[in-house]
C-alpha cells in the first residue's frame, strides 16, 4: 500500500519535472533549476497532504500554500495543472501577455494560487496573517510556506518567523528549499547563512532536517505535521513529527529544512547554477524528454 502510494507520487513528480522543461521551452524564459528543486515537495503536498478542492479553488476550508520563492512558479503551475485546476496545455502560455500564468505567481489571476509572490522574503509574513485569520474564524486549515535558502537573507523573514512563534501558530508549516545555491552563487558565500537549524530553533521553531527528494520521508513527516497542525492544543501535546526527535512543544510552529539539489532530476542541470534562469535548447529539451518520459503538455 505504502509502496503504491510512493510510486504514484514519484511518477507524478517525474511528470511535473517534464512539464516544467516543456513550459520554459515554449515560454522562452523561466527558472528551471529552482523549479526542479521543489518538484518532490510540491507533489507530496498537492497530491497527498493538502486538503484541497480544485473544482472550488476559493473553498474557505482549504489548506493554503505560499510559494515564497515565486520565481519557481513553473513547478507550481505544473502541479496545479496536473491536479486539475486548469488544463496542462495552458502551461504553454507561461509569461505571455494576457496569460493567467505570469512569470511570478499572481493570486487573483491563477486558479489555485493562494499568494502573490516574486519579491523574495514575504511568504512567512503572509502565512502568519493567513494563520491568524484561520484561527479567528475557527477553521482548522493549514498554511504551508515554502521559502528558498538564499531568500532567508531577507530580514523580514526573521521578523515574521518571530511573530509566528510569538503568536503560537502551530497551523503554519514552513519548508526551506535548502539547495545551497541562489542566483549569484552559494548561499553561504553570498549571505553568510550558516547554522540554519540553530537559527530557526533560536526563533522558537521546532526544526526538522529532511531529504527533500525522498518521497517516503516527505509524506511521513508532512503527514505528521499536518495532523498535529489541525489538532487542538490539548491534543498536540506529545504528537511527534519524526521518530528520532522529541515531539514539539504544543505551541511551536514546525519548519522543515529540506536538503535538495537545484535542477534535481536532470543530471546536466543538477548543481549547475547556470540553470537558475535559462531556456533549454532543442537538444537539451530532447535529452530531458528521454530521461523523464511521460506526456507532453497536451
Ligand X SMILES: Cc1ncc(C[n+]2csc(CCOP(=O)(O)OP(=O)(O)O)c2C)c(N)n1
End-to-end CA distance of the chain: 31
Mark the segment that binds ligand X (CB under 6 A) among 89-97, 181-189, 206-214, 244-252. 181-189
- Residue 149 as a binder of ligand X (CB under 6 A): the answer is yes
- Residue 119 as a binder of ligand X (CB under 6 A): the answer is yes
- Assess contact for 124 and 145: CB atoms under 8 A: yes
DSSP assignment of 158-204 equals HHHHHHHHHTT-TTEEEEEEE-SEETTEEHHHHH----HHHHHHHTT
Of the candidates 183, 30, 18, the residue with the CA atom closest to the CA atom of residue 95: 30
Q: How far is the CB of 83 from ligand X (least distance, A)?
A: 22
Q: What is the SS3 assignment for 257?
A: strand
Mark the segment that binds ligand X (CB under 6 A) among 19-27, 81-89, 142-150, 284-292. 142-150
- Residue 102 as a binder of ligand X (CB under 6 A): the answer is no
The count of chain residues that interact with ligand X, using the rule CB under 6 A, is 21
Of 15 and 147, the one with the shorter C-beta distance to ligand X is 147
Q: How far is the CB of 181 from ligand X (least distance, A)?
A: 6
- Among positions 237-266, residues that touch ligand X (CB under 6 A) are 262
Which residue in this structure is represented by grid cell 545555491?
181
Mark the segment that binds ligand X (CB under 6 A) among 92-100, 115-123, 219-227, 239-247. 115-123
d(CA 153, CA 97): 32
- Helix (H) or strand (E) run with residue 144 in it: strand 143-148
Of 63 and 177, the one with the shorter C-beta distance to ligand X is 177
Residue numbers at the binding site for ligand X (CB under 6 A): 34, 37, 69, 71-72, 118-121, 148-151, 177, 179, 181-183, 187, 262, 276
Amino acid at each position: 500500500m505504502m509502496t503504491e502510494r510512493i510510486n504514484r507520487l514519484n511518477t507524478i513528480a517525474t511528470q511535473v519535472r517534464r512539464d516544467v522543461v516543456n513550459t520554459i521551452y515554449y515560454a522562452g524564459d523561466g527558472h528551471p533549476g529552482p523549479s526542479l528543486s521543489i518538484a518532490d515537495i510540491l507533489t507530496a503536498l498537492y497530491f497527498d497532504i493538502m486538503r484541497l478542492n480544485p473544482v472550488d479553488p476559493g473553498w474557505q476550508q482549504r489548506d493554503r500554500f505560499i510559494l515564497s520563492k515565486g520565481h519557481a512558479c513553473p513547478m507550481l503551475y505544473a502541479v496545479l495543472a496536473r491536479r486539475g485546476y486548469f488544463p496542462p496545455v495552458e502551461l504553454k502560455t507561461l509569461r505571455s501577455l494576457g496569460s493567467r500564468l505570469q512569470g511570478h505567481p499572481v493570486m487573483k489571476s491563477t486558479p489555485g494560487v493562494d499568494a502573490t509572490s516574486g519579491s523574495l522574503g514575504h511568504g512567512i509574513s503572509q502565512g502568519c496573517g493567513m494563520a491568524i485569520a484561520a484561527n479567528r474564524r475557527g477553521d482548522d486549515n493549514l498554511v504551508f510556506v515554502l521559502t528558498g535558502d538564499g531568500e532567508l537573507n531577507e530580514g523580514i523573514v526573521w521578523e515574521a518567523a518571530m511573530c509566528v512563534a510569538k503568536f503560537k501558530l502551530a497551523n503554519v508549516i514552513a519548508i526551506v528549499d535548502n539547495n545551497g545555491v541562489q542566483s549569484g552563487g552559494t548561499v553561504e558565500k553570498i549571505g553568510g547563512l550558516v547554522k540554519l537549524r540553530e537559527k530557526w530553533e533560536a526563533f522558537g521553531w521546532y526544526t526538522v532536517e529532511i531529504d527533500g527528494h525522498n518521497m517516503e520521508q516527505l509524506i511521513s513527516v508532512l503527514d505528521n505535521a499536518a495532523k498535529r497542525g489541525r489538532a487542538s492544543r490539548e491534543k498536540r501535546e506529545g504528537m511527534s513529527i519524526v521518530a528520532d526527535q522529541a515531539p514539539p512543544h504544543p505551541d511551536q510552529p514546525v519548519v522543515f529544512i529540506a536538503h535538495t539539489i537545484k535542477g534535481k532530476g536532470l543530471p546536466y542541470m543538477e548543481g549547475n547554477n547556470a540553470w537558475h534562469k535559462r531556456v533549454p535548447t532543442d537538444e537539451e529539451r530532447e535529452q530531458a524528454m528521454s530521461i523523464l518520459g511521460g506526456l507532453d503538455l497536451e
